[in-house]
Amino acid sequence: MAHLEKKDLFSLEKYAEIRDDFRKKVMEHKKNRRLALNPHAALYFEDSLTMQYQVQEMLRIEKIFEAEGIQEELDVYNPLIPDGSNWKATFMIEYGDVEERKKALAKLIGVEKSVWVKVEDSEKVFAISNEDLSRENEDKTASVHFMRFELSKSMCAQAKVGLPITFGIDHPLFKTEVTLTPEIQQSLIKDLD
C-alpha cells in the first residue's frame, strides 16, 4: 500500500466542503476494520483511507496549511499504513469506568507483547508493538498501543485464498482468540500485495 503524499490530501477549504460525506465513507469502511478480541480489547486495523482521514482531521483542527506542517503530519501517520506483507493496527483497552480501567491497566502490563495472529495452522506471529515509544512503565500499561503484524509469504498466500485468520491474546489475565468474520477478512486481505 502506497504511503500518502501531499497530493493525496484535500485543501482545508475543499475538506470543509466534503467533510461530512468523506467522514461517512470512512466510518462505513472502518466497520470491517475493527476486531473485538474480548469485551475490553479491540484491534482497529489501519490503512491509507483511515490514515488520510486522521491526517485531514489533524490538519483541520490545527489549521495546518503550510507544506512543512503537512509533511510533518504525513511523517507521523504514514508508518501506520500497511506495507503489503503486514497488518497495522491500533490496539485499544476499553473500559467505560475510569477506576476499573486504572485497575485493569495495572494488571495488564505486557499485554501488547502477547497479541498474535495466525492463518489456519501456521505458527503464531506476535505483534511488534510501540515502535515509536514505550507505552508502559512498572506500574501500568497504556490503553492504546500501535502494532504491526509481519506475515510470511505463505501466510499472505493462505489468507488470500480464504483460509481462517485468527487473532488472540496470550496474556494470562486477558487470554482470548477470535477468528475473523468473512467481512473483516476480505477487508484485511486488501492490505496484502
The confidence score (pLDDT) of residue 7 equals 96
Please report which confidence band the pLDDT of residue 136 belongs to, taking 50, 70 and 90 as the band edges. confident
Q: How many other C-beta atoms can be found within 10 angstroms of the C-beta atom of residue 134?
A: 10
pTM: 0.92
In the chain, where the domains are located: 6-189
108, 141 in Cβ contact below 8 A? yes
Which alpha helices (H) appear in the chain, and where do they start and end? Answer: 12-30, 48-62, 67-77, 98-107, 153-160, 182-189
Residue whose C-alpha is closest to residue 180's, from 120, 121, 125: 120
- Mean predicted confidence (pLDDT) in 19-32: 97
| Torsion angle, alpha carbons of 167, 171, 173, 178, to 10 | 10
Please report which confidence band the pLDDT of residue 1 belongs to, taking 50, 70 and 90 as the band edges. low
How far apart are the C-alpha atoms of 133 and 64, rounded to whole Å?
25
HSE of 185 in the Cβ direction (CA atoms, 13 Å)?
Answer: 20
